[in-house]
Structure 1
Amino acid sequence: MNINMTRVLAIAALGLLSALFAPAALADDDGSEGGAPSTTKEISGVVQSMPATGLIGAWMIAGKSVVTDSTTSFDQENGKLAVGASVDVKGTSQPDGSLLASKIEVETGVVIPPGPGTAGGDDDVAGELTGPIISLPASGLLGTWNVGGQTVIVVSTTALDQEKGPIVVGAIVQVKGLPDASGAIIASKIEVETVGTGDAGGSVPVPGEVEIAGLIEALPTSGLIGTWQVGGRSVIVSATTRLDAENGPFVVGASVEAKGALDATGALLADKIEITEGNGAAVPALEFWGTVVELPAGTTGLIGVWKIDDKLVNVTASTQIDTEDAPLVVGATVEVSGWLQSDGMIEASDIETRTVVGALAGQGTKAIEFFNGTLGHFFISANPAEVAALDTAGKWQRTGQSFVVGSGTSGVCRFYGMPPKGPDSHFFTADPAECQAVMTTFPAWTFEGHAFSATPALNGQCPAGTLSVHRFFNNPTTAAAINHRFTVTQQAFEQTLAMGWVHEGVVMCAKP
């Protein structure tokens, strides 16, 4: 099978999972690959829009399309369902990416002031409300605000109480004033209630706070203040945004978690952004071994474009270079970690001289195949400690299939669904482009690292004297049952075809 078609099939299969599930775990001893799978999803955030009449129809909550129908239950014990209310939604992901809600529960309601000329009851105070700040004037604080979907006018005589925190989008405020003829509140006082951090009790959830995780795709041309692109979303960083770089620098390709509130355009106004580790591109998608053919000429030292085997590698001032094992000269064997660019160039994160090709920490000499009869899943591991744990637990049984690892030219990416975010299954690929695509496109899959080394297939073919490793996909009717199998023997190949699995082609090569 053509390798490009193989990649298309595999990516399509993973895409199905990301539509059904809400980006390092070993196989668990209890028989699961990490937990009970689930297609139920839960989101929390501010109601940004809702049906014009009634509660049945299309909603927008925390940037997510939500649909309600006659089976949806509504819990308004804590307040009224209205634009600006903070809610918790439970439901099922739909093929179009929306969430079909089974229940919407109000966490913090919006106090809607009565219109002009109406008489409120004992619980109604004209011109008073509590809710999140959705928008502020473009400059300064005087002018028109949106608080929980209500227009609020701030004038020079409005008292602004910021004792509990600053006035920012997403902060919960109490507004007092009088409604004008249009229904807008002319504020006499606005008091900040919460801005996301409590006292000794620690973090307090802020209604309207949104959290996204993904790879940094673009940064401002100068400095870090400005508009970023993270996981396909615009993230706006200001001077008050807290930037936590404890786990690494903010660079394109880094994996981050951003928290804040959405503005009217859907961009995230970031309150905090931190580098994350172990769940995506904190470890580069590409890891390979090769021989240095050319180094940069002139007086630039090692910064510039290298040629390693037939690959062009761009080395920058931020590239970490380790020459502990051997001198770095033309002809040296090196291990390279980095990101494959769209033009085929490799952006290097780390380069280390090596005396052995294909050596990875925690890697044994063989990838051992196991089968779990309860799950109906196949699984491979080249980690001796993990293999021993599976043998001892007894939930997973060896199939007798295995292949040699440890002398290949590339690291094999290992992903896990990690329920409830994704499926209770693992996925492996030796193709750096496929690995990077899964990292950046499918948040249902968590990158666990490079599991072992193997040689990638070239156009679906392996070099003479090596074994072809075939990948199969079980193509289930439910995403919870997703699984892949890797075979090297004719017997296993024919057995898997007879089970009705989809052959995705030769994906890597192993020594006999």
Structure 2
Amino acid sequence: SMPAGGFVGTWVIDGVSYTASAATRFEQEHGAFAVGACVEVEYISGTPRQATKIATEHDYKCSGGSGGSGGGGEYHGEMYGIINSFPQGLIGQWQIGGMTFVADASTVFEQERVSFAVGVLVEVKFYTDANNVNHAIKIETKYDTEGGQDGGHGEGHEGHEGHAYGRVDAMPSGGLQGTWTIGGIDYIADAATRFEQEHGAFSVGANVKVRYYTNNAGQRVATKIETTSETGGSTDPNHFKLYGFVEQMPSPGFVGQWVVNGVTLTADVTTQFQESHGLLAIGAFVEVEYTQSGGVNHMTKIETHVPPGAGPNDDFGRVESNAVAGALRLDASTAVWIIGGKSYLVTPATDLNDLGGALTVGNYALVNSYSANGQLVATRISGVTLSHQIFLPATSR
């Protein structure tokens, strides 16, 4: 609990009472004070304890993962981030996603998908000790984000792709190719962009979903624009949703200017910061809910997700069903899809890629996923068109 109507008074933090006075320093760089928020408190012993400083902190420091492996670790966390620099022999100091990690002989290194290099997206499991040093428990490569941004509308845009939900503010005249403004953000549609109008015709004010990637010039190139009845899970009909990768963020703390896939957004103490699947860092894949006014994009919420294709599981199978009877809805909110006999939770953050084949019942798909609370959650579902099938006789020895 915390004082009502201000910060001075009695705070109960992790079951312990603290008294805050006018001399107490209050810092909200990692989000606003609220019941349930993770905070650090500095105090003078007494009954009750006198708080000299109360500051919001990263969620993982209150996740209950204290102690344990790693030689005196206090708080355990994970993150997805871009390698900025790393030691030649892997042992030593790493710069990942704007943070510093120390790797030693006990650190596990995995390079199955791609080798370590600057620009590679990695997953880091770590602990933070009492001296605030981050020790890497495991560093695992996911994919290379360098190059390939201008490779057309096919695959190969890992670390630069995204999708968004919003209203059409402006669209090209005399055709569909050109600059679209959706939810206050510009997207370029070209001859390869696919358009679908199953939920009404394109018009200013129509609600659409856009799948895109950022090219080397920083432009968001639309691979598909479709009308939709979905909002991506926005909490307000006047809010928009953007999914993409963090390119810039404030330091220290979270309050200030962010850049997500080339879009500049502003966060303040009213913004909700949720580190659901790793820390907020450079290279993190995030869901952003925002409002747009006077050319300024204000974040109401930013939440981390496992990046598309970065889950540990890759499977292939025939699309059997989902929560909607008949053909699969590519704009569906959270639903269960059954592919190859396995059930997958599909969320608004899931990358639904039907470029290589229609995601309809009876067709085939590649699924990348991770496990959460006993459920497989899809990070990406890619349609596949089979050109040949080979049937071989069963043999036995």
**TM-score, length-normalised on structure 2?**
0.32
Higher strand share: 2
Higher helix share: 1
Q: Which of the pair has the greater relative contact order for Cα pairs under 8 Å at 6+ separation?
A: 1
**TM-score, length-normalised on structure 1?**
0.26
Q: Which entry has the higher C-alpha Rg, 1 or 2?
A: 1
